[in-house]
Amino acid sequence: MEVVIVPDAAAGGELIAEAMAALLRRKPEALLGVATGSTPLPVYRALSAKVRAGEVEVSGARICQLDEYVGLPAGHPESYRSVVLREVVEPLGLAESAFMGPDGAAEDVPAACAAYDRALTEAGGVDLQLLGIGTDGHIGFNEPCSSLASRTRIKTLTEQTRKDNARFFDSIDQVPHHVITQGIGTILEARHVVLLATGESKADAVALAVEGPLSALVPASALQLHPHATIVADEAAASRLKLGDYFRATYAAKPAWQGI
């Protein structure tokens, strides 16, 4: 697991956008897994800026969703499908056909979960999966005690996550209780997993994920099992890492051509 400590969210966004751009330069049809929440927005802005500046061509790129609320009406502005179309697909100038996600409005939710898990494999697998992290250490919507081998399935949100996400809705009562999420086992199949964490509120979760024991109680700790996982944290989110100085020195000595 590589840990890169950056000065702020914008620097983290730039670093990850450059990794995505480098991937698309060598594999124009790459499948990029994207996350929702506030944290990844600087990545999407930086990647769109690179496209506008002609630094990377993304017309062959494919985008896939990590998770989704269950039961929001189709087209609800806070469904993750709407968010990804608005924040990623449209700014990159991609067609909706370049995008895949689970159907949160399906009548048969387990069948929709299995179909999405299969579709990811049939699409050749995710090349780079971007993740945020919940204050309780969740990735996607894999809440604490999710199976480390889990596949895409329905989950119930913790009250903490519903509170954290209430800011996107008029009130907490509108935050769904149920979600579809790629499982931890599904996420671990991506060829490169990049987790971005910014702000002090993520410092405990980052420290537990990176330096704590591998534990279903901290779903992000499962990234310790991945052969190519990169944790990008700003100074505030990295502030409780015991090995912070080591991570800084290691990255400072890394040849720039290696990227992340």
Catalytically active residues, by annotation: 67, 136, 138, 143
Q: Does 19 bind ligand GLP (CB under 6 A)?
A: no
Contact call for residue 42 and ligand GLP (CB under 6 A): no
Give the per-residue contact string, 101-130, with ligand GLP (x = CB under 6 A; - = no): ------------------------------
> Residues 12, 101, 134, 244: which binds ligand GLP (CB under 6 A)?
134
x/- mask, ligand GLP, residues 50-69, rule CB under 6 A, reads: ----------------xx--
Among 25, 29, 38, 121, binds ligand GLP (CB under 6 A): 38
Q: Which of 141, 150, 185, 194 binds ligand GLP (CB under 6 A)?
A: 141
Q: Does the footprint of ligand GLP cover residue 161 (CB under 6 A)? A: yes
Length of the chain: 260
Q: Residue 116 corresponds to which amino acid?
A: Y
Quick check: 146 binds ligand GLP (CB under 6 A)? no
Cβ 14 to ligand GLP shortest distance, Å: 17
Chain contacts with ligand GLP (rule: CB under 6 A)? 35-39, 66-67, 132-134, 140-141, 161, 165
